[in-house]
Amino acid sequence: MIIFARNLVAKDFWLKLFSLVLAILIWLTVYYSINGETSKSPWLALLGRPADETVMTVPVRVPIGGVQTFSVEPSEVKVTLRGDPKLLKNLRNDDVRAQVDMSGVEVASGLLRPIQIVLPNGIAYTHLSPDEVEVHAAPKN
């Protein structure tokens, strides 16, 4: 019985260790792929896979209308985009829009409003910083 237990561990030890490490790497790759965290997988970064996330700085636009013009603070937001690496590579600054809906608002001194992101098909945003802006109103001249 002792010989059997010793051979179970010691015989072909390096082959067994290699198989164990390979099984763990395969399991981690499948786990990250199923959970949609492929860009955060350390194994894919080691393989040189291109990142499928990018960060862009986008100006915040306020639609013009009514009797007042609006300004926002801050005037730019950082958007983390996720999508196909080919789509992200060909993305222009004009393709991503950050806007504030001011419909029905007449007085906006220090009003906090959420930012809406408009993106092309096949691209989504995962993070927006900041996610709302302070709106100030000034009468039109």
- pLDDT tens string for the chain (141 positions)? 788 878 877 888 999 999 999 999 999 888 877 765 555 555 555 554 555 778 888 888 887 665 567 778 888 999 888 887 888 888 888 888 888 887 766 666 777 888 888 888 888 888 888 888 888 776 555
* CATH number, domain containing residue 93: 2.170.120.30
33 and 57 fall within a common domain:
no
**Number of domains the chain is built from:** 2
Containing domain of residue 65, as a range? 53-139
- 107-114 long-range Cβ contacts below 8 angstroms, 24+ apart: 107/137, 108/68, 108/70, 108/135, 108/136, 108/137, 109/136, 109/137, 110/134, 110/135, 110/136, 111/135
68 and 125 fall within a common domain:
yes
**pTM beyond cutoff 0.85:** no
Q: Would you give the end-to-end CA distance of the chain in angstroms?
A: 96
